[in-house]
Chain A
Amino acid sequence: MRALRKKELEKKGLKSRALDRKERVGQEQAMAFLEVRNLELNVGGFKLHDIRLRVEEGDYVAVIGPSGSGKSLLLETIIGFYSPKAGRIFLEGCDITAFTPDKRQISIVYQDHVLFPHMTVFENIAYALQKKVKDKARIKAEVERIASLLEISPLLFRRPKTLSGGEKQRTALARGLVVRPKLLLLDEPFSALDVRTKERLRAILKNAIREYSTTVLHVTHDFDDLWALADRVLVIRNGKVMQEGEPEAVFKRPSPNFVAEFLGTNLLKGRVRNREGNLTVLELEEKSLAQASKPELEMESEAKSSLLFYSADSGKPGEVVSLSIRPEDIILAEKALESSARNMLKGKVKVLTKKEHLVSVSLKLESGNKSDLSAISKAAQASPGFKAPACPDSKVSEYSDSKASGIELKAVITPTACELLGLERGKEVYAIFKAANVKIIR
């Protein structure tokens, strides 16, 4: 999306604000479009601590983190509602730290719209423009253009209190975008909306952002926003940036552990046992943290375990690491299967949770199961079409110890798959995943 927008910018002849900036600033390292340096702030109970951020022109950055982590405070500091205790904010190479909000050319859209109740939809959008544009005909044309883009043309003469949540949010987006801000800040704009409205709004927003070529910082709790819209993601906790990068990279390789927990990744603690060819063999530690995002499970997970996992990441023997496995990367099967996947674990379904259009399956790896590599191998061999693995030691993960209990894995499957497998609480299934999907976090 980012590359696409860059191309569009160039096509429109808008290019190169970034290049101009490089020349203008004349620094060794080019300054990013938005650059936040060592930002410190303490407002009420919320804190920002040493925030550093670089956002390139045209980027769509999703800011995620638990409630109270300072995400909204970061946006409100960037727009100038709060003055930082320390640190600097640069926009297009210009230090805007001391600028009042009216001088920054940044727009913000809140979850609860903050539409002026005494103005109609038209007046709300036009109000944003009136300071910049004096020609009434041009204001009207601009308002009509954005209204058409955001599909609110029939609502222009209605008051905000007569609009639905989605309509209000589209109006707020129109008001934020119509001024063509250098930076658009979105503070959980879709969180109060239903799933269908959210999906529709994402598509509308994506289109509008492309049309207006705006750089966006979007605070969200909804990972669907992130996948649908963001080029980059920033994870914040307790006012500190924990990780940033492309969504895929952050989800696949969350670091540190907090990010993995927050992103709902299966997070297990283990020790590197040895290397087998290109693979690292990991042995789970005594106190494995299965699904640390569910503290009630931690107690259960403190049992001794020596489950083995295979990872394509490298590791030094003896090294203590965390393993991250995305729930979407786990395949569930009724029988042991022959496949290229290096990890196959037997377990029982503990909890089935329907989540919008997916089913989350919590799998408890069996306790007291004496089965080991050979047992599972036998099961695999018994299944039709089984062929001996080319790499005998690494085909299946083994239960080498009966105390490998309490470890939980979460998998995400579709309701159809759930039905086909006949999943129910207590049913035995195999969790299969590739060594490439077991990420080592240090």
Chain B
Amino acid sequence: MKQSAFRKGATGIACFFTCLFFLAVGTLLLILKPSELLKALLSAEMLYSMKLSLLTASISTLAVMFFSIPTAYSLSRFDFSGKSLVRSILGLPMAFPELVLGLSLLLLFGQTPLGSGLEALGLRVPFSKLGIGVAQFFVAFPYAVRVIYSTFEGIDCRYEQVSRSFGYGDFETFRNVTLPMARGGLFASAVITFARCIGAFGAVLILAGGSYMYTEVLPVTLYLNISYGNLEMAITSGVLLMGIAFLAILCFEHFEGEKS
């Protein structure tokens, strides 16, 4: 069958940019020798950065999931005044430059009674490890809400109504019916959230600062080392971030494939 010019053109554009992207990623992988990569990986700074990244991203992911599930559920199932405003505001950080989000958070936790109140309780957010988690949370939260919201929207609410008709309350129905039916979407959301948390840079840099071996997470390691001209360390952290993102996308695609 003869292919139309439009079809050929569109496919050609897709292939061209895929190759370009592949080249860019390949360059990152090919510049360092395996021994240099291994040496950088095992350096104290990289190990610290990896541990801190994994720890903060894991905690942030749990926190994001804990709060985004009820948020997305309420947006999907319940009607309340100002619902569309809530939805817009929650989605805003997705369009926000991360640096602006970081600055806003720095002002919120540094210059307002909320920040001083938390500090009085021993919870200092700006320029601390806690700040990393807070920044990651705010970066990833809107994405998680969006993915989970679309998952709940995809579940016919009659399943819940049928469960209610058997005597189960709202929460029991949510626990027994909705959550198990949404588990694929929740898993995908957790993966995306983790990838967003571990890759968050701008907001983390502004709120938590980029202190060497203190608030240094993988993107900060990349930034600091490229500033010093230490390409090996910068590239290694880049490779690690890319690997994590690649795994996340694989998981997400797997879920999407299952869903369809």
Taking Cβ atoms with an 8 Å cutoff, the residues of A that contact B are 76, 79-81, 100-108, 110, 114, 116-118, 127-129, 131-132, 179
Contact = CB atoms under 8 A, between A and B. Distances in A.
Contacts of A80: 164-165
B117 interface: no
Interface residues of B, number: 18
- Count chain A CB atoms within 10 A of each CB in B164, B167, B177, B180 and give the residue with the most: B167
Nearest to A119: B180
Given A101-B161, A114-B158, A131 B167 contact: yes
Interface string B171-205: 01000110011010000000000000000000000
Given A110-B158, A116-B177, A118-B180, A132 B167 contact: yes
A116 B164 contact: no
A131 B167 CA distance: 6
A134 to B, nearest CB: 12
Given A108-B161, A116-B177, A116-B181, 8 more contacts: A79-B161, A102-B166, A102-B167, A107-B165, A116-B163, A118-B180, A127-B176, A131-B168
B106 to A, nearest CB: 44
A117 B181 contact: yes
Given A114-B158, A114-B159, A116-B159, A79 B181 contact: no
A102 B181 contact: no
B70 interface: no
A365 B176 CA distance: 63
Nearest to B181: A118
A102 B169 contact: yes
Interface of B: 156, 158-159, 161-169, 172, 176-177, 180-181, 183
A101 B180 contact: no
A127 B161 contact: no
B180 A114 contact: no
Contacts of A104: 165
B181 A81 contact: no
Contacts of A79: 161, 165
A33 B172 CA distance: 30
Contact of B166 (A110, A117, A179): A179
Given A116-B181, A118-B181, A128 B166 contact: yes
30 contacts: A76-B161, A79-B161, A80-B165, A81-B161, A101-B161, A101-B164, A101-B165, A102-B164, A102-B166, A102-B167, A102-B168, A103-B167, A104-B165, A106-B165, A107-B166, A110-B158, A110-B162, A114-B158, A114-B159, A116-B159, A116-B163, A116-B180, A116-B181, A117-B181, A118-B180, A127-B163, A127-B166, A131-B167, A131-B168, A179-B166
The 3 A-B pairs of least Cβ separation, nearest first, read A131-B167, A101-B164, A118-B180
- Count chain B CB atoms within 10 A of each CB in A80, A102, A105 and give the residue with the most: A102
Contacts of B180: 116, 118
A105 to B, nearest CB: 8
B164 A108 contact: no
A132 B145 CA distance: 35
Nearest to A187: B158
- Count chain A CB atoms within 10 A of each CB in B166, B168, B181 and give the residue with the most: B166
Contacts of B158: 110, 114
Contacts of A100: 164
Contacts of B177: 116
A106 B165 CA distance: 6
B163 to A, nearest CB: 8
Contacts of A129: 166
B129 to A, nearest CB: 39
Contact of B165 (A102, A116, A117, A118): A102
Contacts of B161: 76, 79, 81, 101, 108
A116 B164 CA distance: 13
A127 B176 CA distance: 9
A76 B164 CA distance: 12
Nearest to B164: A101
Nearest to A124: B162
A117 B259 CA distance: 13
A273 B172 CA distance: 68
Contacts of B183: 118
Nearest to A110: B158
Contacts of A117: 181
A104 to B, nearest CB: 7
A81 B177 CA distance: 17
Nearest to B179: A118
Nearest to A117: B181
B181 to A, nearest CB: 6
A108 B165 CA distance: 8
Contacts of B165: 79-80, 101-102, 104, 106-108
A131 B166 CA distance: 7
A114 B162 CA distance: 8
A264 B149 CA distance: 46
Contacts of A127: 163, 166, 176
- Count chain B CB atoms within 10 A of each CB in A101, A110, A117, A118 and give the residue with the most: A101
A114 B164 CA distance: 13
Contacts of B164: 80, 100-102
Contact of A114 (B156, B169, B172, B176): B156
Nearest to B183: A118
A116 B159 CA distance: 7
A127 B160 CA distance: 13
Contacts of B162: 108, 110, 114
Nearest to B156: A114
A279 to B, nearest CB: 53
Contacts of B169: 102
B160 to A, nearest CB: 10
A117 B163 CA distance: 13
Contacts of A101: 161, 164-165
B158 to A, nearest CB: 5
Contacts of B166: 102, 107, 127-129, 131-132, 179
A102 B169 CA distance: 7
Nearest to B176: A127
A131 B172 CA distance: 10
Nearest to A185: B165
